[in-house]
Structure 1
C-alpha cells in the first residue's frame, strides 16, 4: 500500500486532498526559472540560489561557459521549449566538468553537454561523485569524457533515452560513459556511438542493468571494447544492439572481469542481444575472465564470422550466427529480422535470475529511445518486430 493510501485510511480523503494541495503549493514555491529573458540568467546562478527540493526550468538555447556544482538534495533541472545546450568553451566546475554532482538526488532532462576539456584531460559533461543521478533525454558530445562516475559504493546512476558520441581527449583513451565502483547503474534506451580508442560503455558497478540500448562503433569509430565490466559484478545485458566496426582497436566486443573481480557476486546475463562484428576475419564476441560465479548467454543473434565460444564455464544456448543479409537492406539502422527468416519465433524462455525476469519487456527504437513491447518476445536478438521483405 502506498504512503498516500495509508494517509487516506488514517485521516480520511478530504483531509488527504487538503494536505496534497498544500504540499503541491510548497513544491511549486520551490521553482526557479532560468533564461536570457528571466531574472535568473544563468544555470550557475540557479545553482547558487537553489535549495533542496527545487525544480529548475531552463529555457531552450545555448549556455556558454555556464558551469555548476550541485550539492542540494532532490533537484530537478528540466529544459523548457526545446533543447538546452551547455557549451563548455574552456570553463569547468572545479576543474572537472561542465557539471559536478554530489547530490542525494539530481534529475536532468533535455540537456546537451558539449566540449568539456580540463587540465587532466578527463573533462566530462557531468562528473558524478556521490548520491543519485538520473539523466533523461540528454546528450554528451565531444567532451574528453562523456559522463564520468567516481567510485562511491552507495551511488546510483540512471541513464535513459540519451546519446553519447565522439567523446575523447586528443590522444584518445577516454570513454563515452565511464562508471566507477558504485552500487547500481541502469542504462536504458540510449545510443552510444563513435568512441575514439576508448569504450562505448565501461562499468565497474556492483549491479548493472544495461537494457534496450544501441552501442555501435559505426564508420569512423575506433572503439576498444563496445561494452566492458572490468570488475565483474552482476550484469544484466538484455535487448541491446551492439556493433564492432572495422577500425576497432580491440577485437573483443564485450569484456567481463578483465581487471579482476572485486564484488561478492559476479554474474553475467547476456540475453536477446543483436551483436554485429564487421571485422572480415571476425573478433571475439565475449571474453570472460575465469572466476565468474555464473554466465548465461541465450537467444543472441551474432552477425559475423566468429562463433560465440565460451571462454569460461557457463550456460550458452540458443545463440544463432547469421549473415548481415539476414536483416535485409538498410541494416545500418534497422536490425529487425525479416518476416521470412527461418529464425523467426525461435527464441526460448530465458527464465529469471535473482528475481529478475530475463524476458524482454521493451525494444530499442532508433534514435535513443525504447518502447514497451506490444507482443510477446519470441525472436532471438534484440528486436522483436519483424521486417516485411520488399519485393
Structure 2
C-alpha cells in the first residue's frame, strides 16, 4: 500500500507534459516531453539541447529565453509540417541564441505570406544539415545588429511567394550583424529572392543556386542596402521562369545605407538554363563603392557588371 501511494505521489508531482517516452528529450536532464513547447519551457533561461526523435510533427514552439539547441536524433528524420506559432513559424526564437541541426521544415504557410520554418527575432542562430521545403520562407529574421546567422549544409527548395500570400523569400535576413552561408543549396524558388540580406556583412561560399526550375523568381542574392564581405566559390544557374531577368547578384538596389567598398565576388560559376534568351548581368550595382570581382566564370550572354 505504501509503495502504491509513493508511486501515485511521484506521478502527481511530475511536471506537466513530461513523459518517459516522449519524442522531445532534454539531453542534460534526460527528461522527455510529448510537446516541444514543454521541453523549451523546461530549459527556460538556461542552456540545453532538445533531442528530437524521428517522426512527423504538427507542432511549433516559441523560445522566449535561454540558449537552446534543437537537434534531430537522426538528421532528416524529424519533420515539422503545417503548424506555426504566433502566425510566424514552426520555431519562433527570441532567446539568447539557438542552434538547429538535422531538422526538416515543410509546407509552412500563413495568411500574410511570411510563414517560415524559423523566425529568428534576436540572438545568434546556427543552422546545419536542415531542409526547408515547399513553403513561404525558410528562415526569416528581425533585426539584431549584434547577432550572427550561420547556415551550413542546408537546403532551401520550393520556397517564395505563393498564391495564398503576399510574398516571401527563401532566406530573408533583416538588420543583423552578419549572415554566413556555406555549403548550402537553393533551388525551385516560387517567387522573391533566394537570399535577401540586410546584414552589414555577408559571406556566401561553396553553395549552389539552381533556378532552372524556378518560377516568378527574382535575384539569386539581393543585398538591398549594400554589404561588405565575400561571395565566393558558388554555382549559379539562371532560369527562364523569372519575374526579373536583369541580374543574379544585386548590390544596394534599395539604397546604399551601409558601405559595400571591398565586397569580394570571386571564383563563382554562372550559367544559363536551356532556353534563356534575355540579357542578364552577374552583378548589378546601385552604388559607387568599388567592388572586387575576379576569377568568375560566366557563360556567354552573362555580362560581369552593370551599373545602375
Q: Under a length normalisation based on structure 1, what TM-score does the superposition of the two structures give?
A: 0.67
Tell me which residue corresponds to 1:203.
Answer: 197
Note closer, same or farther for the CA distance 1:205–1:280 as it changes in structure 2 (3 Å cut).
same
* Partner residue of 1:119 out of 93, 103, 111: 111
Work out the number of aligned pairs and report it.
Answer: 276
CA RMSD of aligned residues (A): 1.9
Q: 1:99 to 1:277 in 2, by over 3 A?
A: same
SS of aligned partner of 2:298: strand
The structure 1 residue matched to 2:281, chosen from 274, 281, 284, is 284
For 1:213-292, list aligned pairs within 5 A.
213-251=207-245, 252-264=247-259, 266-278=261-273, 279-292=276-289
1:1-391 matched pairs, under 5 angstroms: 30-32=28-30, 39-51=32-44, 52-64=46-58, 66-82=59-75, 83-88=77-82, 91-171=83-163, 173-251=167-245, 252-264=247-259, 266-278=261-273, 279-292=276-289, 294-311=290-307
SS of residue in 1 equivalent to 2:110: coil
- Residues 235 and 190 (structure 1 numbering): CA distance in 2 closer, same or farther, change over 3 Å? same
Change in CA separation of 1:31 and 1:106 when aligned onto 2, cut-off 3 Å:
farther
Q: Deviations over 1:278-325 (max 9, x none)?
A: 322431221101332x2011000102323324528xxxxxxxxxxxxx
**Structure 1 residues 155 and 54: CA distance shift in structure 2, 3 A:** same
Give 3-state SS (helix, strand or coil) of 1:44's partner: helix
Q: Deviations over 1:52-81 (max 9, x none)?
A: 1111111111111x1101133321121113
Q: Residues 249 and 265 from structure 1, CA distance in 2 versus in 1: closer, same or farther, beyond 3 angstroms?
A: closer
**Shift of residue 32 of structure 1?**
4.8
In structure 2, C-alpha distance between the alignment counterparts of 1:29 and 1:270, rounded to whole Å: 42
2-side partners of 1:156 and 1:237: how far apart?
Answer: 17
How far apart are residue 29 of structure 1 and its match? 7.1
- Give the Cα separation in 1 of the matches to 2:56 and 2:262: 43
Q: Deviations over 1:306-356 (max 9, x none)?
A: 3324528xxxxxxxxxxxxxxxxxxxxxxxxxxxxxxxxxxxxxxxxxxxx
The SS at the match of 2:186 is strand
* Distance apart, 1:136 and its partner CA: 0.5
Q: Deviations over 1:166-210 (max 9, x none)?
A: 113423631100111110110000000111121111111001111
Q: Deviation of residue 267 (structure 1)? A: 3.6
Give the distance between the partners of 1:62 and 1:112, measured in 2 at CA.
9
The question of whether the paired residues in 1 share the 8 Å contact of 2:187 and 2:214 is answered with: no
Q: Measure the CA separation in 2 of the matches of 1:29 and 1:245.
A: 44
Using the alignment, how far apart are the partners of 1:254 and 1:210 within structure 2? 12
Deviation per CA, 1:97-146: give whole Å up to 9, x if none: 11111122211110011122223221111111100010010011122211
Query: Aligned with 2:277: secondary structure?
Result: coil
- Give yes or no for contact 1:232–1:267 (8 Å, CA) kept in 2: no
> How far apart are 1:266 and its partner, in Å?
4.2
Residues 170, 29 of structure 1: CA spacing in aligned structure 2 closer, same or farther, 3 A cutoff? closer
Change (3 A) 1:162 1:280: same
Are the equivalent residues in 1 in contact too, given 2:103–2:129 (CA < 8 A)? yes
SS of alignment partner, residue 54 of structure 2: strand
> Which segments of 5 or more consecutive residues in structure 1 lack a partner in the other structure?
1-27, 34-38, 313-391
- Whole-angstrom CA distance in 2 between matches of 1:164 and 1:230: 20
Verify the 8 A CA contact 1:215 1:241 in the aligned structure 2.
yes
